[in-house]
Amino acid sequence: MSAPDLSTELMSQFRKTGAEKHTTFLLGAGASTSSGLPGWDELVTRLLIGSGAVSTGGAAELLLDRQDPLIVVEAAKAGFLPDQWDKKIRGALYSGVTSLSASALHLAVAAHALQGDVRDTSLATLNFDTLLEEALREGSRSAVLSISNTSDRPRGYSVHHLHGVVDPAGSSDVILTLTDFLDVLAADDAWQRSYMREALSRGAVIIAGTSYRDPDVRQWLHAAGKDAPEGHAALVLLARQGFSVSRDEFAEMENALIRQWRAVGLTPILLQDHADAAQVIRELRYVNRPDYVAPQARAEQIWRAHRERFGELQEMYVDALRADSRRLRSALDVDQLNLTLWLANGAGTLVRWASGDRIHLDHDGLREIEIGFDSPWIAGQALGADSVLIQDLDASHKGPWKSVLATPVTVEYPGHPPMAVAALTVGLPDAAHRFESSTVMWQDEVSSLVNEWGERIETALIETNRSSIGEREGETA
């Protein structure tokens, strides 16, 4: 499944979970690795090598694979002077990072908080970075606080860091090594325990972007679950992307994952990409409405609307793509390119619907590709990641194009949250690095095209629905 394939059955699991009263979001590393920060293993590897505990990444990998990762970090800490540790963590976390921006998951959580009353959503994270705060600041003029030492919930927007804060300017209350975890677990008055208990007493807890292997969080939630009112659930969004396994491997794991999470009192929601979790979060304020339509059903309606008017829309879309190609050639400073529109069909695949270099005569012969972070096609990857991507084509590829730029297209469905249901790809005559180094030249033009295509697809849906209603009314007149 991808975001356009989130089914009615899946989304119904969020009804009457306590989220209609209050929602606490708890984000893990998956939210920040999507922004370019290292995951747990990479962070520890950098610290091990930097401390001299090991000399190679391979040696670090052996230690992490064969031991409790929390005790492995102790070896890195022992290699530094006590007053160096926080600075070394900061250096390892942000090494090689020249710019940072919030991921789709950060933005979805921040948008949820900003759309409602400031008191109906609480925000917590296991991550050291402050990207969630940045996402909040993008949509709010209010002050946003980072909290790592109390369960108090101040007025306004705040993010509780259960494992401390490490931002480029400094660090505080870091929990990283086994000793750190044992100390906080032994503390009966740990503020994190109180925070999680209060979270479940208020409503639902939604956990996203984490494999949930942190022992303290497990204990806090287990204890909180015993006292939670009936109907208040803790739901964990488990993305295949976070497990780094294939679709077939994930399918083999499915039953075991469901059983193990239910056994410890959590409701597992199995997804494919971290961006799927972001779409789930966008949907939460709508799922209890009587007229709610799940993403898969919305994508199917958009797909049917286009199939019903295939000939008319094919000609219209190809003309638009050709006009857009002229605009993009100027913005990208190239003499030729190929612009293609891909459309999700609500059945797990993305279809090459229209291209500026040809007119299709039959929708049954259109190419279909997988959607997702590991799709072999960049169009599928862009929709799965809900972000703009650019990459070189394989050297064996024959043809005029050396690289491809891909961007998701978000479509508004009346009365529902926006959803990426299509993608635009641009075949380019030069290597990707040329365009990656000049984004300021073309990003605004691409953004404008994406918005126009979102409106165009929405219009096609509305017009088709209006025509169908008119026909039905004519039949009954």
CATH code where residue 123 lies? 3.40.50.1220
End-to-end Cα spacing for the chain: 42
- Nearest of 263, 259, 267 to residue 237 by alpha carbon: 267
In sequence order, which residues have a C-beta less than 8 Å from that of residue 352 and are 6 or more positions away? 340, 341, 342, 366, 367, 368, 369, 379
The number of folded domains in the chain is 3
User: Per-residue pLDDT for 181 more than 60?
Assistant: yes
Give 298-319 pLDDT, tens digit per residue: 999 999 999 999 999 999 999 9
Distance CA 118, CA 456 (A): 34
Res. 472: pLDDT tops 70: no
pTM of the predicted structure, to 2 decimals: 0.88
User: Does position 169 have pLDDT exceeding 90, yes or no?
Assistant: no
Angle at 124 between CA 122 and CA 127, to 5 degrees: 160
Q: Is residue 402 part of a domain?
A: yes
- The closest of 412, 406, 408, 407 to 455, measured between CA atoms, is 412
Q: Which two tokens stand for residue 128?
A: 């050291």
* Token pair 């939210």 in the structure block, residue: 31
Do 325 and 452 fall within a single domain? yes
Q: Is residue 427 part of a domain?
A: yes
What separation in angstroms does the CA of 109 have from each of 7, 103, 164, 209, 375? 20, 10, 19, 12, 26
When pLDDT is averaged across residues 180-196 and rounded to a whole number, the result is 93
Which amino acid, one-letter code, is at 29? Answer: A
Same-domain check for residues 271 and 235: yes
DSSP code of residue 82: G
Binning pLDDT at 50, 70 and 90, where does residue 180 land? very high
For 264-306, the pLDDT digits (tens) are 888 999 999 888 999 999 999 999 999 999 999 999 999 999 9
403 and 422 in a single domain? The answer is yes
The CA-atom distances, in angstroms, between 25 and each of 109, 395, 469 are: 7, 44, 41
Whether residue 12 lies inside any domain: the answer is no
User: What digits encode the pLDDT tens for the residues 200-224?
Assistant: 999 999 999 887 778 888 888 888 8
Within this chain, do residues 223 and 157 fall inside the same structural domain, yes or no?
yes
Same domain, 335 and 282: no
**CA torsion through residues 431, 384, 315, 457, sign:** negative
Same-domain check for residues 339 and 444: yes
- Name every residue whose Cβ is closer than 8 Å to that of residue 197 and which is 6 or more positions away in sequence: 220, 223, 224, 227
Domain range enclosing 90: 42-94
